[in-house]
Amino acid sequence: MMLKKMRESGCRLWDGAMGPMLMRAGLEAGVAPENWNIDRPEQVRTVYEDYFAQGATVVQTNTFGGNRARLGAARSPYSVEEVNRAAVTLAREARPADGYVAGAVGPTGMVTPSRPAVDPKLLQDIFAEQMTVLAEHQVDLLSVETMYDRGEAQAAIAAAGKFLDLPLVVSLTLRATSEGFLTPMGDRAWPTLQSFIDLGADCVGVNCFVPSEETERLPGELRNQIPGLLILRPNAGLPTVKTAAQSPRARSVEERREALWGPKRFADFLGKAVDCGIDFVGGCCGTTPGHIGQLAQRCT
């Protein structure tokens, strides 16, 4: 199994955020980041290269919102085929000999607490369409990430079932509550992750959560509750936005964020996760190549 071989060879480090890196380069709010796979390919390739240069052994394609539901909602002028094909091509161009490309698959955006139930078959078809393009253009594995609803994630796993030669990694986003760790839709963390393994996921875990006093115990609980390969990719903390009076020259929300965890604190958190047995680590929102570089130093 490829993931086990990766782990045994020391290839445990994934990349960090893509969207914020593109925003720093000029991506405007409301524009699908996937558009830049075609409009600004050199910038997307540079982000991949920067993460690999800082020690990441796996980069995820710029396809988090590359399904037809999200592209349609963003009014992207490009098709699922176009944005996913371009993203994989750029990542493969940037990949060193010992690097891996994970095809990123995010939620459809159709499942929310305020909307009626969505037909699982429709969700499965949407995921299968995107995964087919990623597989045809030779990603090394599939990464279903930032899932906040058990049923939608299970639809994605079912869609991935036709790609038996590709390892499947599935991760939830969680919040700490008085009742334990829950998804935003109220699903309990550990039974939900176990259900993913039962359905065929090769590695499960958590991404897109804010490290805090409440989540300090998450790596240990994850390792104790779930057998097999595990992945953890937190955000770099909770952004705090200054008011205009505090920062009159700030031109964007991104420039006014000050409470994000720096690379060292981020690496310390994930270094402890590795020490307690988490197999793969990387970053999500707010993380940069600098965060991954610091983490690489901590984990080697």
Q: What residue ranges in the chain does DSSP mark as E strands?
A: 58-60, 100-105, 141-147, 168-172, 175-177, 180-182, 203-207, 229-233, 280-281
Nearest to 147 by CA among 138, 139, 157: 157
Residue listed under structure tokens 């590795």 = 274
pLDDT at 238: 67
pLDDT per residue as tens digits for the range 54-76:
999 999 999 999 999 999 999 99
pLDDT < 70 positions in the chain = 238-259
CATH number of 2-294: 3.20.20.330
pLDDT per residue as tens digits for the range 217-262:
999 999 999 999 999 999 997 665 444 444 344 444 444 444 688 9
pTM of the predicted structure, to 2 decimals: 0.92
Which two three-digit tokens encode residue 196? Answer: 């993913």
145 near 95, Cβ under 8 Å?
no
Domain ranges of the chain: 2-294
